[in-house]
Amino acid sequence: MIRTGTVQRRTAETDIIVELALDGNQASSISTGIGFFDHMLTLFAKHGRFGLVVKANGDTYVDAHHTVEDVGLALGQALVKVLGDKVGIERYGDAWVPMDEALTQVVVDLSGRPYLVFQGEWSTPVLGGNFETELVEDFFQAFAMSGAMNLHVRNLYGRNTHHIIESMFKATGRALRKAVTINLDIVGVNSTKGTI
Ligand SMILES: [Mn+2]
């Protein structure tokens, strides 16, 4: 069984299609008009072993904010849609990912209770010419809220801004891979409440 779903999200600011396949280790195809963001989403998909298609046409002549935030919202919506009733999934996942001198820890709970804890600081305000690095937190905020997850993204240290942010996206992919994994020992949903 391949768990897959599509979300289309259109506003006056952005027009976005996200296709997410949790299984099958399919190739990703990312096009947002923001090169650094494409690079991050490609890493996220690769290290999460997600089949991910993102096509975004946004008002990047303004800046990258609307597009980055709305892709986060659409990706979270796609995850909720694909997971459905969450029967049998591990629910929790975590990962430590280094990138050279940078180290990031991500812990996720697909709890249905949206919450973001974000710890990260860096020196470079813009990467790739049109990606304002403060948008990293906005992306994770949108993703955690619309994905109804408790997400902790914690960079411990690092010098190079590209490395720090890259370790965050890779670690999030890896943590989510664990959380969405189906465990046949789990009867129903993985909660004493009977629902997540
Ligand atoms: Mn890179």
Sequential DSSP letters for 63-80: -SHHHHHHHHHHHHHHHH
Residue recorded with tokens 């992306």: 139
The per-residue pLDDT for range 147-192, each reduced to its tens digit, is 999 999 999 999 999 999 999 999 999 999 999 999 999 989 999 8
Residue 91 has pLDDT above 90, yes or no: yes
**Residue 99 alpha carbon to ligand 1 centre in Å:** 9
Residue 90 is assigned to a structural domain of this protein: yes
Task: Compute, in angstroms, the gap from residue 86 CA to the centroid of ligand 1.
Answer: 33
Q: Is residue 116 part of a domain?
A: yes
CA of 182 to the centre of ligand 1 (A): 30
The answer to whether 99 and 166 have CB atoms below 8 angstroms apart is yes
CA 69 and chain centroid, separation: 11
Q: Which residues surround ligand 1, an ion (CB under 5 A)?
A: 166
Report if residue 153 sits inside a domain: yes
Pairing of strands 102-109, 150-157: antiparallel
Q: At what angle do helices 161-180 and 35-48 cross, to 10 degrees?
A: 40
pTM: predicted TM-score of the whole model, two decimal places? 0.97
Looking at the predicted structure, is the pLDDT value of residue 195 above 90?
no
Is 192 within the bounds of a domain? no
For residue 110, is it within any domain? yes
Provide the domain count of the chain. Answer: 1
Ramachandran category for residue 191: left, alpha or beta (phi over 0 → left; psi -120 to 50 → alpha): beta
pLDDT for the residue numbered 196: 84
Rg of the chain over all Cα atoms, to the nearest angstrom: 16
**129 in a structural domain:** yes
On the CB side of 84, CA atoms within 13 Å amount to 11
Look at the block and give the residue holding tokens 């997850």.
149
CATH number for position 35: 3.30.230.40
- Say if residue 43's pLDDT is above 90: yes
Whether residue 149 contacts residue 82, with contact meaning beta carbons closer than 8 Å, is answered with no
Residue 194: per-residue pLDDT: 85
Q: Which domain holds residue 87?
A: 4-180
- For the cut 90, the answer to whether the pLDDT of residue 1 exceeds it is no
pLDDT tens digits, residue range 101-128?
A: 999 999 999 999 999 999 999 999 999 9
Does residue 130 surpass a pLDDT of 90?
Answer: yes
Cα(58)–Cα(102) distance, integer angstroms: 31
User: Tokens 């490609």 sit at which residue?
Assistant: 42
Question: Does residue 87 sit within a domain?
Answer: yes
To the nearest whole percent, how much of the chain has pLDDT over 90?
94
Centre of ligand 1 to C-alpha 150, Å, is: 26
* 194 is a domain residue: no
pLDDT of residue 193: 86
Cβ–Cβ under 8 Å, residues 64 and 71: no
Mean pLDDT, range 22-29, rounded to an integer: 94
Tell me the pLDDT of the chain averaged across its residues.
Answer: 97
Distance separating alpha carbons of residues 159 and 30, to the nearest angstrom: 27
